[in-house]
Amino acid sequence: SLFRLKDLEVPELGDCDVHVKMLAAPINPADINMIQGTYPLLSPLPAVGGNEGVGEVLEVGRRVVALKPGDWVIPADAGLGTWRTRGVFPEEMLLKVPSDIPVLCAATLSVNPCTAFRMLADFESLVPGDSVIQNAANSGVGQAVIQIARASGIKTINVVRNRPDLPKLVERLMALGADHVITEEMLRKPEMKDIFKSIPRPRLALNCVGGKSTTEMLRHLQPKGTMVTYGGMAKQPVMVPVSAFIFRDVRLRGFWMTQWRKDHAQDQESVAAMMDALCQLIRRGQLTAPACTEVPLQDYRAALEDSMKPFVSSKQILLL
């Protein structure tokens, strides 16, 4: 097995270090990909898994200014290794978050909601009444896109795979604020025209699947619209008809949150503005944590297995 639960000494606290007691950390697809070695970030081994989570500051080194004991922190970047009970980290590897938001919201804040927020903001200037189409709409990012769009008056068309409990999933996404929830098969049906009687064709498509799903989704994009690819769950390339490029001038872009953070490392204002906006939405009840299953750390094996099952609609969260 690749995984072992191991007791380690907590290292000495340096002048610029922060001693953190981890509270909760999710298991995301990218965490699994990193462990499998199929992700562009590889930690030197032996390594602690987990790129996301929330912790409470226990003590700080004497040159630490922005954090104090009792503060809540999340990773400033990927690769922190959040699947642990305690850790000592340099101050710049942590971002302070308000401790008055629910712990599961804080634990799942730094990857999926940030990804959703950036993709909605950075590629098309969307205004209330515009629409967005996305596949894998029940993913962590998908659920965040639905809620952030809803709070901004943007309509969402949400594509999911057909499954045994489809009505239950549709109901859950509608409750989050989805305007339409459809299956991959429906993308090819003439009934799609009915949707566009009440809302405009999307200017933005968000793709984390690839393959056929993407080609079908692209068909419904407005001329000059943008499709942003941020994942490839079908492990198939993005296929685009030549006519979409020539006659509709669609744009194809990519997005990786880790790269955005690198590009904005010197631009703390952008990071702070995004975190503030997301925390405001959380406080107003407009952005909730994704559907979660809470698992004590000692049951990590079962949690990892569950996170890799097909049609998972609940994110495994390790309670530390």
Amino acid of residue 22: M
Question: What are the structure tokens assigned to 95, written together?
Answer: 């971002």
Active site residue 230: no
Strand partners, 20: 57, 87
Question: What are the structure tokens assigned to 164, written together?
Answer: 């045994």
| Greatest C-alpha distance within the chain | 66
Catalytic residue among 14, 32, 35, 39: 39
- The helix or strand, by DSSP H or E, that contains position 66, with its residue range, turns out to be none
Whole-angstrom Cα distance, residue 31 to residue 35? 6
* Helix ranges restricted to H, the chain: 29-36, 103-107, 112-122, 140-151, 166-176, 192-198, 212-218, 242-248, 257-263, 268-283, 300-307
Residues 6+ apart with CB under 8 A from 299: none
Where does residue 270 rank: exposed (0-12), middle (13-18), buried (19+ CB within 10 A)?
Answer: middle
8 Å CB contact between 302 and 7: no
8 Å CB contact between 311 and 163: yes
Q: What DSSP string describes 5-23?
A: ----PPPP--TTEEEEEEE
Question: What are the structure tokens assigned to 84, written together?
Answer: 């642990």
Q: Determine the 3-state secondary structure of 180 from DSSP.
A: strand
8 Å CB contact between 308 and 314: no
Catalytic (active-site) positions: 39
